[in-house]
Each structure stands twice: as C-alpha cells, then as structure tokens.
C-alpha cells in the first residue's frame, strides 16, 4: 500500500525539486545581471563606454544591455530570458544599476 502511494507522489516530488532548482538558477542569474549592470554603469560613468559593454558581456554572457543617461546619471539595465524548468516558457530576468557621471568624463 505504501509503495503505491509513493509511486503516485514521486512525479510530484520530482517536479517540485525541478522548480526549486530552477528558482535558484533564476536567482543566480538575477545576481549576475545586477553585477554586470553595476560594473557597466561604473565603467560608463568613468567615460569608458566600450569597456562597459565588454564587462557586461563577460559577467553575464548572452544578456541584452540598455544604457541611458539623464540628469548626470547613467542607468544600465541588463536583461536575459531564463527558463525556470525545461519545457516551460522563459521568464525575463533584469538587473539594473545607476551611477553618477564623473565630471569631465565623456562617454
């Protein structure tokens, strides 16, 4: 009797573990994107726009980078589509950072 109940619950447990592992990987990707956006924002604020894109590509490969400047600040947003579990539609994960432009820096 217990064996049949365990066999019925096993697919649910496997699915639950898969979602838990997927959630951890999404959280890890979010941290990577935030680090990439932060490094890119700092480099761009110093006036090194090309290095900013290189840093973001190294820290978060495959991410899309959006750089905007306004009111003496640079805002960098890094986004990437991540699958929580194979076979499920991907979700978009975003990391964002803001840095003040340094005086005299020309991006």
pLDDT in tens, 61-97: 999 999 999 988 999 999 999 988 878 888 999 999 9
Q: What is the DSSP letter of 81?
A: E
How many residues does this entry show for the chain? 107
Predicted pLDDT at 94: 95
Pairwise CA distance, residues 44 & 38, whole Å: 10
pTM, rounded to two decimals? 0.83
5-20 per-position pLDDT tens digit: 888 888 889 889 988 9
Using an 8 Å Cβ cutoff, are 18 and 85 in contact?
yes
Using an 8 Å Cβ cutoff, are 56 and 78 in contact?
yes
Spans of all domains in the chain = 2-100
């Amino acid at each position: 009797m217990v064996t049949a109940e365990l066999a019925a619950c096993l697919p649910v447990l496997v699915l639950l573990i898969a979602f838990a592992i997927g959630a951890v990987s999404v959280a890890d990707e979010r941290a990577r994107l935030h680090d990439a956006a932060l490094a890119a924002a700092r480099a761009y604020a110093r006036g090194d726009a090309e290095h900013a894109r290189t840093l973001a590509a190294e820290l978060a490969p495959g991410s899309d980078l959006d750089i905007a400047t306004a009111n003496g600040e640079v805002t960098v947003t890094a986004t990437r589509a991540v699958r929580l579990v194979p076979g499920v539609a991907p979700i978009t994960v975003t990391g964002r950072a803001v840095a003040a432009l340094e005086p005299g820096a020309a991006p």
